[in-house]
Copies of this chain bind each other. A is one copy, B any other.
Amino acid sequence: MQLTAREIDIGTRTPTVLLNSTDASELGAHPLDRVRIQHGPDVATGIVEITDELVDPGLLGVTRQISHITGEVEIALASKPDSAAHITKKLDDIELEREEIDAVVRDINRDLLSDVELGAFVSGVYAHGLSRAEIMSLTESMVEIGETIQWDREPIVDKHSIGGVAGNRVTPIVVPIVAAAGVTIPKSSSRAVTSAAGTADTMEVFCDVSFSVSEVREIVSETNGCMVWGGAVNLSPVDDKIIRAETPLSLDPPGQVIASVLSKKKSAGATHVVIDLPYGEGAKVESLHDAREMAEDFTRVGTNLGMEIDCAITRGEQPIGRGIGPVLEARDVLDVLEGNGPTDLRSKSVRLAQILFDAAGVDETADEILETGAAESKFREIVGAQNGDPDVSSKDLTPGPHEETIHTDREGVVTHVDNKLVNELARRAGAPKDHGAGVYLHCRTRDELTDGDPLLTLYAEKREKLEQARTFWTENSPIRVHESGAVLIEQW
């Protein structure tokens, strides 16, 4: 069919052609079909959307990705991409071959899959899981298609937590300990998606976090470490596109997480990686069995990629540290670096750093580096290199002005502090957008309380956010207090 193609800017991710419904019907094209567009020697493929309003009959709207082909064009129905058949195969619960995963990754990378197809891919991975061979294929495929950073030294160590634990801000303590020992640790972190703060949000309280790859190189060559936002570095574009499709449905299948983490670590040039796998009620992984299975997969797949992987299965049934929210977490971090702060946050950070030292054959003691203040100096050095104030002190880190402390109305023992609900509570108070908003915990599980003891303090930058958090508190039970010795939890 002959049409006149014109660029039309509708901001789509995929190369799209807009057909008037009359032409679509004549061509036999349905929404999301592919068409081949030819103009002389130029050929492109577009995904069909049908409209009665945006283009008239005889015209073809083409989006920017394929707008080099305009004027008189010949269009014809094209077959579905091979990757669509592979996605259907995954939905049929048949293991995908390496080349099939390559085809899917390639088409995701080039934005050639529609959102329906992308949604089906993440659904297939979620519904049927990924075999270890599939995780390996997916990881390698994502590494090969993206950019990688090469370093002129070894080891390059790195750290990742699979998340789900509120307040778990160990990175800003692990990185300076490691860097202070002369070991390179170019750490990139995420911002919060569903939590009260990501490491990038917390570090933003101290300094900038958005740097290009060459700026990262500079910071690292100066200080041995960095704590930047991974989104700016953009090392694994396919992974980001997959996560975009998983987020609306809260899908987070283990195999995809492993491929996502290890592809990013490999692309960043890591040689030794410690993976923090918190497990417990309310964490992402709820049983020790599942945590061990993930550890095994992480290790095998990472080894296969030529990295040394150590997994730390950690307690994840309640938050780590006292503060939840960017400023409150920043304060905990600085306190630990200065020799005080929450003991669980300190002890976890030291253990993770020590695992990296042992793995990379570094003859240093993490505890000593923290004890002597070398880690604190290194932290201030990195903050300075990232355009922050190296002389920052705890009193600069003030949470929001609106606060309310909530007390227990009964005597008993704290049986549960729920990660998800505490995160959500801090978000209702304004975190992570309002850096000073969040929750400060006065208790942990197994604490014995008497009536009137404080449970937590809410902080907010805006009064109405404090009210919203207060309402969320009364409607949910982020902290459960039961009579000592009680066995019955709920009656149904």
Q: A28-B192, A53-B11, A248-B114 are in contact. Are A119 and B127 (CB under 8 A)?
A: no
| A49 sits at the interface (CB 8 A) | yes
Contact B9 A247 (CB under 8 A): no
| Known pairs A115-B116, A124-B123; A26 contacts B248 (CB<8 A) | no
User: Does residue A149 face the partner (Cβ distance < 8 Å to B)?
Assistant: no
Across-interface contacts of A123 in B (CB, < 8 A): 91, 119-120, 123-124, 127
A446 within 8 A of B: no
Give which listed residue, B11, B33, B114, contacts A18 with CB less than 8 A.
Answer: B11
Output the least CB separation between A25 and chain B (Å). Answer: 9
Provide the residues of chain B in CB contact with A87, threshold 8 Å: 249
How far, in whole Å, are A53 and B432 apart by their CA atoms in the complex?
Answer: 26
Interface residues on A, range: 35 or more
The answer to whether B247 touches A127, judged by C-beta atoms less than 8 angstroms apart, is: no
Which of B54, B120, B250 sits near A122, CB closer than 8 Å? B120
Residues 108-158 of A at the B interface (beta carbon under 8 Å): 114-120, 122-124, 126-128
- Give Cα A93–Cα B122 distance, bound, in whole angstroms: 15
- In this assembly, does A43 line the interface, its C-beta being within 8 Å of a C-beta of chain B? no
Chain B residue numbers with a CB within 8 Å of A432 are 28
Partner of A127 from B51, B127, B244 at Cβ < 8 Å: B127
A274 to B27, CA, bound (A): 33
Tell me whether A305 is interfacial, beta carbon within 8 Å: no
Contact of A244 among B32, B88, B247 (CB under 8 A): B32
A463 vs chain B, min Cβ distance (A)? 16
> Of all chain B residues, which has the CB nearest A51?
B11
A103 at interface, CB cutoff 8 A: no
Partner of A116, one of B49, B119, B192: B119
- Contact check, B433 vs A27: say whether CB atoms are below 8 A apart: yes
A444 at the interface (CB under 8 A from B): no
Residues of B within 8 A of A193 (CB): 30
For residue A31, CB closer than 8 A to chain B, the reply is yes
In the bound assembly, the distance between CA atoms of A119 and B32 in angstroms comes to: 12
- In the complex, which residues of chain B have a beta carbon less than 8 angstroms from the beta carbon of A249? 84, 87-88, 91, 116-117, 120
**Cα–Cα distance between A115 and B120 once the two chains are bound (Å):** 10
Nearest B residue (CB) for A123: B123
Q: Using a CB-CB cutoff of 8 Å, which residues 329-357 of chain A contact chain B?
A: none
Assess the A245–B93 pair: CB atoms within 8 A: no
| In the complex with contacts A31-B244, A127-B123, A249-B88, A54-B115 CB distance below 8 A | no
Report if A410 contacts B (CB, 8 A): no
| Inter-subunit contact A251/B88 (CB<8 Å) | yes
Asked if A10 is an interface residue, CB under 8 A from chain B, the answer is yes
Q: Which of A33, A115, A193 has the most CB of B within 10 A?
A: A115
Cα distance A122–B117 when bound, in Å? 10
Q: Is the CB of B116 within 8 A of A245?
A: yes
Contact A248 B32 (CB under 8 A): yes
In angstroms, how far is the closest chain B Cβ from the Cβ of A276?
24
Chain B residues positioned under 8 Å from A49 (CB to CB): 11
Find the B residue at minimum CB distance from A126: B91
Q: How far is the CB of A107 from chain B (nearest CB, A)?
A: 13
Query: Which B residues lie within 8 Å of A128 (CB)?
Result: 127
Q: Chain B residues near A91 (CB, 8 Å)?
A: 123, 126-127, 249, 251
- Chain B residues within 8 Å of A54, by CB: 9, 11
The A96-111 residues at the B interface (CB cut-off 8 A) are: none
Alpha-carbon distance A126/B128, docked complex (angstroms): 12
Q: Which residues of chain B come closer than 8 Å to A31, judged between CB atoms?
A: 244
**CA of A88 to CA of B249, assembled, Å:** 6
User: Closest Cβ of chain B: how far from A195's Cβ, in Å?
Assistant: 11
Interface centre among A53, A84, A124, A192 (most CB of B within 10 A): A124
The residues of B that contact A124 with a CB separation of less than 8 Å are 123, 127
Q: A114-B248, A119-B115, A249-B88 are in contact. Are A93 and B30 (CB under 8 A)?
A: no
Contacting pair B28 A116 (CB below 8 A): no
**Beta-carbon contact of B248 and A116 below 8 Å:** yes
Residues of B within 8 A of A122 (CB): 116, 120
Q: Which A positions have Cβ atoms within 8 angstroms of B?
A: 9-12, 18, 26-28, 30-33, 49, 51, 53-54, 80, 84-85, 87-88, 91, 93, 114-120, 122-124, 126-128, 192-193, 244-245, 247-251, 432-433
Q: List 13 A-B contacts (CB under 8 A).
A: A11-B53, A27-B433, A30-B193, A32-B244, A80-B248, A84-B250, A114-B115, A115-B116, A116-B245, A117-B119, A117-B248, A123-B123, A127-B128
Q: A28-B432, A33-B248, A120-B249 are in contact. List 4 more A-B contacts (CB 8 A).
A: A27-B433, A80-B248, A115-B119, A118-B119
